[in-house]
Structure 1
Amino acid sequence: MMQELNYICCGDYYIPDIHLPEESRPIGRWGRMHRDYIKEHRPILFNGLCLNGNLWTYLADLNEQAQSRLELIIEQMKESEGVTEHMKQHDQMAWVGAMNSIRNRAEEIILREMIYGEDAV
């Protein structure tokens, strides 16, 4: 399907009037890391997404999926390791240490599975 192109006269030149779709959602931390990864290691995919105007939407979707998966993994790890509000009230330092450990492990899972993994794309 051919689309009609409109041109804008700038001085002696006619420049195509091309607009990319606007995406208002932020790409966030995970989207920025994945963008850098595909830019460096998967340039064909990166260029294809840029040329189609789908890069920002793709990265915003990935960021939302990664963030929700991170929250789910953290909740599951908290439950399996017995990190509760009761622990938070009675032994705050142990709770902080356990939560930091859980968050770090969950972030590593997200990085390996969704951001830098072979099947991440």
Structure 2
Amino acid sequence: MAKTIFEEMGGDYVRQGDYDLPCLSLPAEKENQLIGIWGQRHLRYLKQHRKVFYTNLLTSGKLNSYLADIDKQAEDRFLRLVEQMAEREGVTEQLKAENQMEWVGRMNNIRSRTMEIVNEEIIIK
């Protein structure tokens, strides 16, 4: 019997009942990086809306590093925007010392707007 292309490339088969299934494995990534909330959100987006791109990243062994990079970009953008908006709107440490409830409300508002911006610009691009 002639060898299949998979066997010619050095692949093996394992017998499962009446079937010979190829022994497949994903390439290992160089380093296992932690993925934060932004990376997890982007992963969910890829799985739901960009399945081919997700599968290509997964099978090439680049998914984890890609998500870690997206997470870092999004976190940096988020922190920079929060700082800039707070400065522009006059939300300072002095306001925090004088009226804590107003400071918390305004900071929550800024964080919510910033989360929407980062989500639109980076996560679901």
Task: Report which of the two structures shows the higher radius of gyration computed on alpha carbons.
Answer: 2
User: Which residue in the other structure is 2:96 paired with?
Assistant: 88
CA distance in 2, matches of 1:18, 1:114: 27
Identical aligned residues as a percent: 40
Given the two structures, how large is their TM-score scaled by the length of structure 2?
0.79
In structure 1, give the amino acid aligned to 2:92: T
Matched-pair contact (CA < 8 Å) for 1:5–1:17: no
User: Which residue in the other structure is 1:110 paired with?
Assistant: 118
- The equivalent position to 2:86 in structure 1, one of 61, 65, 78, is 78
Given the two structures, how large is their TM-score scaled by the length of structure 1?
0.82
Matched-pair contact (CA < 8 Å) for 1:6–1:17: no
User: Which residue in the other structure is 1:57 paired with?
Assistant: 65
Question: Any stretches of 5+ residues in structure 1 without a counterpart?
Answer: none
CA distance in 2, matches of 1:64, 1:87: 30
Deviation at 1:110, TM superposition (A): 0.6
Flag the 1:72–1:5 CA change in 2: closer, same or farther, 3 A: farther
RMSD of aligned C-alpha atoms? 2.4
- Number of equivalenced pairs: 114
Question: Any stretches of 5+ residues in structure 2 without a counterpart?
Answer: 1-8, 15-20
